[in-house]
Amino acid sequence: MINSKLAELLDVIADMLELEGEKYSRFEVLAYRKAAVTIGGLQEDAEEIYKKGGTDALMELPGIGKSMAAHIEEYIKTGKIAKYEKLKKKYPLDIANLTKIQGMGAKKAFKLYKALGVKDVQGLKKALAQHRIRDLEGFGEQSETQIQKGIDFLESGGGRMLLGTALPEAEAIRDKLLKSGLVEKAIIGGSTRRMRETVGDLDILLISSKGQRVMDFITSMQEVESTIAKGPTKTSVRLKIGLNCDFRLVERTSFGAALQYFTGNKDHNVKLREMAIKKGLKLNEYGLFDKRNRNVAAGENEEQVYKTLGLDWMEPEMRENRGEIYLALHHKLPKLVQLADIDGDLHVHSKFSGDSSNTFEEIAGEAKRLGREYAGVTDHSKSEYMNRGLDEKGYRRVFAEIDKANKKLEGFTLLKSGEVDILKDGSLDIDRKTLGEMDYVLASVHSGLKDPKDAMTKRIVNALNSGQIDILGHPTGRLINEREPLQADMDKVFEAAKDNGVAMEINSQPSRLDLNDENAIKAKRYGLKFAIDTDAHRISHMQYMRYGIGMAKRAWLRKEDVVNTMDLGSLLKLFKK
Ligand code: DGT
Ligand code: CA
Ligand code: CA
Ligand code: ZN
């Protein structure tokens, strides 16, 4: 999808034309602004529109005239717009990022560039620190504070980071600390440990006898951009990836209590504290204390904290105060599905469609390495025009290739499937005969994601009622921080899925995680089964399974709720039904 990038570029051109002043009319500036709004608000990818109907199709869009359409064509073909490249030579400013700061328009940015040589946010920060802005005409002390506030807001992240970015970073930092020999223990806590889909900041707990040296090591790590606070037991830093990280050094005797506390979530902790008070105890990050201030749950693991409160220990993913404490009290916690329970992956793309280059050998090799027994090849269907989707003939060719590959593979099976498009009326875009040749059918909605709720509900329910589908792929179509979920009456969707024995996908792509935990909890109430898939477009994506597992655990799913924990024989029997 090029829309947001393209819209931003058109906006920046408008900004730069404005700086040119007299030379350009307001109309011309406005034309770029209008085009930016149109492109930014499109449901369909502008590139797709162009590929289907050329510049003529683009010109049918509101606010897109001949020259704008030419710009878009140029951008699609070359990745650049010459007009912008020329303007940029004259104004070597990072306008796109500077104008993200609240109250900072292109004009102000240009003034600062002319007066102080400020080119980007980094330069702006420097100028602020040296108080060089307050003396400029039209600025002053107040606007200096305002700009600083704007930068702080941006850097505080306004948005939250994907777990798929945050967790690997946290693990890299943890591993460096462990390798340094300076710490005895380093454990990741907070929302990252609970596998929330997004993370506000990282929390890492440490045991060490070399406090000062550990903190020095941390603040000089290559991952660290700046130090926010530094003390002997607590240090907070800003990471280069745009996330804060809190480090806490705790006593060995407090470690269990501290880990419990800093894993959270907050509501879960508040509940536990109330339970402690009822027992005449006091719970905090240092321990669980009796009336005489003795730590009755001292030690390195958190089991002791839960046990002393009369609770069974539970996995971090459950700690959201959604009723897990009640279950723990009555020894009724479910046994959650584990990554090791997964026997295969039912959504993997291959080189036969889409932007994937995965060969069957690569897919099988990686899946085997990950301890799996099977992988479903789910190439796109023909409606995914941009993704080189397959028609009936195309699928048959792929199936023949799969048969050939399977003969060579030992102890591993590639399954014949497809990620088949659900069309507007709920029909599938591949004929019944071909679907019948698949081991199972994965079907997804890929277009018209902003259609009204009634229409979307009907579309999905119709598809489910066709009796052709085994798994509904990424059921809400959302992209975290990028695209809202489609609007559908999920109760009706889940009901129809139950009637037709269709499993819900938990798509493990970090930006999808779809179904999310809340929807999966709901789907489970309908007695539905789940397929935790990676939707791998690259071989490396096959490791995303752990994020889907995190989501499944957050929805309290057990092994028996997840179809791809079954061995191949049982799975095929299930799909035959
Ligand atoms: P985040 O960072 O927004 O993704 O979410 P968390 O859960 O990591 O929250 P964070 O980093 O503010 O705090 C880490 C943990 O510390 C949190 O999960 C529970 C605990 N905690 C923080 N503030 C409080 C509080 O006011 N009361 C209690 N009982 N626990 C707290
Ligand atoms: Ca946190
Ligand atoms: Ca924190
Ligand atoms: Zn897919």
* pLDDT, tens only, 226-262: 999 999 999 999 998 889 999 999 999 999 999 999 9
Q: Give the mutation target among 197, 248, 269, 285 for probing the ligand 1 site: most ligand atoms within 8 A of CB.
A: 269
Distance from the alpha carbon of residue 299 to the mean position of ligand 3, in angstroms: 23
pLDDT tier at 28, thresholds 50, 70, 90:
confident
Contact 99, 112 (CB under 8 A): no
Atom of ligand 1 nearest to the CA of 264: 18
Pocket of ligand 1 contains residue 269 by CB under 6 Å: yes
- Higher pLDDT: 36 or 400? It is 400
Residue type, 16: M
Q: Tell me the per-residue pLDDT of 121-170, one tens digit each, with 9 for 90 and over.
A: 999 999 999 999 998 888 888 888 888 887 876 775 556 899 999 999 99
| Ligand 1 atom with the shortest distance to the CA of 196 | 4
Query: Between these two residues, 82 and 159, which has the higher pLDDT value?
Result: 82
Q: What is the best residue among 169, 262, 266, 325 to mutate for testing ligand 1's pocket, by most ligand atoms within 8 Å of CB?
A: 266
For the domain covering 339-576, report its CATH number.
3.20.20.140
Q: What is the mean pLDDT of residues 17-32?
A: 82
Report which protein residue has its CA nearest ligand 1's atom 1.
200
Beta bridge partners of 532: 506
Atom 23 of ligand 1, nearest CA residue: 266
The verdict on the CB of residue 265 being under 6 Å from ligand 1 is: yes
What angle do helix axes 517-525 and 490-500 make, rounded to 10 degrees?
50
Task: Tell whether the model's pLDDT for residue 220 goes beyond 60.
Answer: yes
Q: Where in the chain is the domain with CATH 1.10.150.110?
A: 3-91
Q: What is the pLDDT of residue 158?
A: 55
User: Could you tell me if the CB of 247 is within 6 A of ligand 1?
Assistant: no
pLDDT digits (tens, 9 = 90+) for 343-379: 999 999 999 987 788 999 999 999 999 999 999 999 9
The ligand whose atoms approach the alpha carbon of 200 most closely is 1
Give the closest residue (by CA) to ligand 1 atom 31. Answer: 266
Distance from the first to the final alpha carbon of the chain? 38
Task: Give yes or no for residue 264 CB within 6 A of ligand 1.
Answer: yes
Q: Is domain 3-91 classified as CATH 1.10.357.10? A: no
pLDDT of 76 strictly over 70: yes
Please check whether residue 372 is in contact with residue 534, taking contact to mean a CB–CB distance below 8 angstroms. Answer: no
Q: At residue 410, does pLDDT exceed 60?
A: yes
For the chain, helix (H) and strand (E) counts, in that order, are: 24, 16
User: Residue 520: pLDDT above 80?
Assistant: yes
For range 497-519, the mean pLDDT: 97
What pLDDT is recorded for position 240? 85
pLDDT at 79: 87
CA distance 346 to 298: 45
Name the residue with the closest Cα to ligand 1, atom 16: 262
pLDDT, averaged across the chain? 93
> Is the pLDDT confidence value at 327 over 60?
yes
Distance, in Å, from the CA atom of 456 to the CA atom of 520, rounded to the nearest integer, reads 19
Summarize pLDDT for 437-465 with one digit per residue, the tens.
999 999 999 999 989 999 999 999 999 99
* Burial (0-12, 13-18, 19+ Cβ within 10 Å), 1: middle
Split at pLDDT 50, 70, 90, the class of 400 is: very high
Q: How far is the CA of 403 from the centre of ligand 4 (A)?
A: 21
Confidence of residue 188 (pLDDT cuts 50, 70, 90): very high
Residues 386 and 408: beta-carbon distance below 8 Å:
no
Q: Indicate which residue's Cα is closest to atom 5 of ligand 1.
A: 191
Q: Among 195, 203, 204, say which to mutate for ligand 1: greatest number of ligand atoms within 8 Å of CB.
A: 203
pLDDT bucket at 3, cuts 50 / 70 / 90: confident
Fold classification of 266-329 is Beta Polymerase; domain 3 (3.30.210)
CATH 3.30.460.10 residue window(s) in the chain: 161-249
Ligand 4 center to 378 CA (angstroms):
7
354 and 379 in contact (C-beta within 8 Å)? yes
- pLDDT attached to residue 464: 98
* Residue 159: per-residue pLDDT: 65
What are 84-93's pLDDT values in tens digits? 999 888 888 8
Ligand 1 touching residue 262 (CB < 6 A): yes
Residue 219 has pLDDT above 60, yes or no: yes
Report whether 319 contacts 259 (CB < 8 A). Answer: no
Residues of each domain in the chain carrying CATH 3.30.210.10: 266-329
What pLDDT is recorded for position 447? Answer: 93
Q: Give the torsion sign (CA, 310, 314, 319, 323).
A: negative
Is the pLDDT at 387 greater than 80? The verdict is no
CA 24–ligand 1 middle distance (angstroms): 52
Q: Is 228 in the pocket of ligand 1 (CB under 6 A)?
A: no
Nearest CA to ligand 1 atom 19: 264
CB-CB contact of 553 with 317 (8 Å): yes
Read off the tokens for 189.
Answer: 């806590």
What's the CA-to-centroid distance between 407 and ligand 4, angstroms?
Answer: 25
- pLDDT of res. 40: 80
Name the residue among 460, 479, 384 with its Cα closest to residue 422: 460
Q: Is any atom of ligand 1 closer than 6 Å to the C-beta of 201?
A: yes
| CATH code that applies to domain 161-249 | 3.30.460.10
Determine the 3-state secondary structure of 238 from DSSP: strand
